[in-house]
Structure 1
Amino acid sequence: MDSLDSVTLEASDPRAAADFHSAAFGLDASLVRVRASEAPTTGFRGFTLSLVVSQPGDVDALFLTARDAGATVLKPAAKSLWGYGGVLRAPDGTIWQIATSAKKDTGPATRDIDELVLLLGVEDVKASKRFYVEQGLTVNKSFGGKYVEFAAGPGTVKLSLYKRRGLAKVAGVPADGTGSHRLVLAAATRPFTDPDGFTWEPTAPRTVPA
């Protein structure tokens, strides 16, 4: 495999979760899918999804529609050394970061999303990096045992690795968690499970209307 094609979030009420994604973010359902699951899960699920946008006004616009759709604010949008952003938890439990590296607006606010990034919280970043390189992914950026970013093609999800406790801190939640990740990753690959228990499945073929 050479990229992460899509992610599937598992939810007790998949219809409600899909409706949230549409209302809050206007997300392409081919990138973020939802399916039913009652698998037990508690605490931090070990990952976040990030929406990268062009300017602070876009962050605020998405924050507003996400809150209106039922999200809970974990970290209010604010300025930082790296830019501007904040964190929310969706009604289904998924943690979303919305961020930009820009410090100022350069035009009217929109809800346009530049990148969708999946950050996996792992116990050993270097070991997980080696594992994923062996699966065929190409490293785009790497900062020792702290962070790894893999290359992503157009129309795919960017995959990054972060220390689990560090990612939980960024998200504003305790790092403890048990049970299912409630997440399945899809790519042009055989089924496998990574060292931290994240499950991968072959990408389902896209159906073309007759």
Structure 2
Amino acid sequence: MNSAIESLTLDVSDVTTAQAFYDAAFGLGDRLRLRAADAESSGFRGYTLSLVVAQPANVHALVDAAVAAGATVIKPVSKSLWGVGGTVQAPDGAIWKIATSAKKDTAPPSRAVDEIILLLGAADVLASKTYYTERGIRVAKSFGRSYVQFDTGTSPIGLGLYRHASLAKDAGVAASGSGSHRLRINGGLGAAVDPDGFVWAPVEAGASL
């Protein structure tokens, strides 16, 4: 089975306003789609989106652009043992982590995004891992009941599982939340709903509205 994720669709209350934000903040093009929906949702939505970039200057450039466009800073950009990163929340509620493993800049600042990674919070990482592997999605890395990174081939969007509470802690928010994830994954898995309620749709269903 094709494990690639072609795009992600976020449910937003106002597509025009959300599109203006994402164009100004990240410029992800067709990799991110928007759909008008008012499904009930509160607190942590159970997932995060990471933008992986080449150097610290690019982290700052993207975070600054997102904040200027209306995002809220959850974690300011800072250095750590693994690199440099910061976390923001878009006006629609989606949580975005911008990060690089590089410690130094080697080029002028850019808002180029090397990779998008979708991390799903799982109540039971092993059960969710089994769900995906039984449907043909191979595992690239796995750390027991804590974390799984899947092999999504040449997909423009990577996929991983993280323990729900750990993912919320990493994002810098409380783990509690209820209602819709307000997210649809458009990819080779087809029409499906995983054990944690994340909805997949066939690629052809991911057209812009």
Q: TM-score, normalised to structure 1's length?
A: 0.94
Q: Which position in structure 2 is the counterpart of 1:199?
A: 199
In structure 2, how many angstroms separate the alpha carbons of the residues matched to 1:122 and 1:19? 31
Structure 1: gaps (5+ residues): none
Cα deviation, residue 93, structure 1: 0.4
User: What does 1:1-210 align with in structure 2 at a 5 Å threshold?
Assistant: 1-28=2-29, 30-204=30-204
Q: 1:121 aligns to what SS in structure 2?
A: strand
In structure 2, how many angstroms separate the alpha carbons of the residues matched to 1:20 and 1:176? 26
In structure 1, how many angstroms separate the alpha carbons of the residues matched to 2:124 and 2:156? 25
User: What number of residue pairs does the alignment pair up?
Assistant: 206
Q: 2:98 aligns to what SS in structure 1?
A: strand
Cα deviation, residue 40, structure 1: 0.5
In structure 2, how many angstroms separate the alpha carbons of the residues matched to 1:180 and 1:41? 5
In structure 2, how many angstroms separate the alpha carbons of the residues matched to 1:155 and 1:185? 12
Structure 2: gaps (5+ residues): none
Amino acid in structure 2 at the alignment position of 1:156: P
Identity of aligned residues (%): 53
Cα deviation, residue 140, structure 1: 1.1
Which segments of structure 1 move beyond 3 Å, counting only runs of 4 or more?
none
Q: 2:132 aligns to what SS in structure 1?
A: helix
Amino acid in structure 2 at the alignment position of 1:163: R
Cα deviation, residue 17, structure 1: 1.2
Cα deviation, residue 189, structure 1: 3.4
User: Per-residue CA shift, 1:7-60, capped at 9, x if unaligned?
Assistant: 1000111121111111001112x2110001110000000001100001100000
In structure 2, how many angstroms separate the alpha carbons of the residues matched to 1:189 and 1:161? 16
Amino acid in structure 1 at the alignment position of 2:17: A
In structure 2, how many angstroms separate the alpha carbons of the residues matched to 1:205 and 1:125? 27
Amino acid in structure 1 at the alignment position of 2:158: K
User: Per-residue CA shift, 1:175-210, capped at 9, x if unaligned?
Assistant: 000000000111123311100000111111788xxx
Q: 1:5 aligns to what SS in structure 2?
A: strand
Cα deviation, residue 153, structure 1: 3.0
Change (3 A) 1:17 1:206: closer
Cα deviation, residue 155, structure 1: 4.7
Amino acid in structure 2 at the alignment position of 1:21: Y
